[in-house]
Amino acid sequence: QSALTQPPSASGSPGQSVTISCTGSSSDVGGNNYVSWYQQHPGKVPKLMIYEVNKRPSGVPDRFSGSKSGNTASLTVSGLQAEDEADYYCVSYAGSNNYVFGTGTKVTVL
Amino acid sequence: EVQLVESGGGLVQPGRSLRLSCAASGFTFDDYAMHWVRQAPGKGLEWVSGISWNSVSIGYADSVKGRFTISRDNAKNSLYLQMDSLRAEDTALYYCAKVFSRRFDYWGQGTLVTVSS
């Protein structure tokens, strides 16, 4: 149950794109399509942004997109806006009602 | 409206026990798996434990296995986390979360557990 690996930080100017990686193993990320992404602003509750690798819940802007290749999932935020500045976490189902979170990435809008 | 309200947190000495509760409303509680996720101060999110709708399937993070016990009472729309042999590293904000199709779609506001002498 090792945490999924994410870069500690990522940044971009308003209007630019930023991509966050999430690397696991064949036991989690690479073994199923149940990867989800959460946004957390300081002092706030995490919010679901992407589920099942690339699906967006209603209300989440289409600037947010997800993908996966092998044991690595990615979240891309296009057209960065000031309100996108937050911490982002990936999560993968790991079988037998177990889940593993990523280490988290702080996104800064320059 | 889905609501998840955690309670039971507080200050506890190392080695002691604490029981967290999560009161659910706004959805059919016994249709969904429920989980606990924690966040130590200034740190990232960590999955703690989860339980299926019928309590048949239960999972624990290695860091809490053998010390924490998750349970639910569908008649009371409630989720619980019994935490024994608490350690300083268990200090965190504990969130209750509803799971739908392997995603955490609703979260409570959390209850703070502080383990310190």
State pLDDT tens for residues A89-107.
999 999 888 999 999 999 9
Of A45, A48, A99, the CB nearest to B47: A99
For residue range A20-65, list pLDDT tens digits in order. 999 999 999 999 999 999 999 999 999 999 999 999 999 999 999 9
* Side chain identity, residue A31: G
Mean pLDDT value of segment B76-80: 98
In chain A, what is the straight-line distance between the N-terminal and C-terminal CA atoms, in Å? 34
Flag whether residue B55 sits within 8 Å of chain A, measured between CB atoms.
Answer: no
Query: Are B46 and A40 an interchain contact pair (Cβ–Cβ within 8 Å)?
Result: no
pLDDT in tens, B19-76: 999 999 999 999 999 999 999 999 999 999 999 999 999 999 999 999 999 999 999 9
Left, alpha or beta for B89 (phi > 0: left; psi -120 to 50: alpha)?
alpha
* Closest chain A CA to residue B100: A51
Interface test mutation site (partner B, options A2, A49, A97, A100, max chain B beta carbons within 10 A): A97
pLDDT of A1 > 80? The answer is no
Query: In sequence order, what DSSP letters do the residues of A83-104 get, joined into one string?
Result: GG-EEEEEEEE-STT-EEEB--
Sign of the dihedral through C-alpha B67, A43, B4, B53: negative
pLDDT of residue A97: 85
Average pLDDT, integer, range A73-96:
96
Q: Which of B46, B58, B103 sits opposite A36 (nearest CB)?
A: B103
Give me the pLDDT at residue A96, please.
Answer: 83
Q: Beta strand pairing status for A9-12 and A105-109?
A: parallel
What is the rounded average pLDDT for all residues in chain A? 96
Mark yes or no for CB contact B44/A99 under 8 Å: no
Query: DSSP assignment, residue A62?
Result: T
Let me know: does A28 contact B102? Beta carbons within 8 Å: no
The whole-chain average pLDDT of chain B stands at 97
CB contact under 8 A, B59 and A3: no
Nearest to B107 among A32, A46, A102 (CB): A46
Give the pLDDT confidence score for residue A71 in this predicted structure: 96
Look up tokens 């296995």; give the residue: B65
Q: What percent of chain A has pLDDT over 70?
A: 100
Contacts of B61 in chain A (CB under 8 A): 1, 98
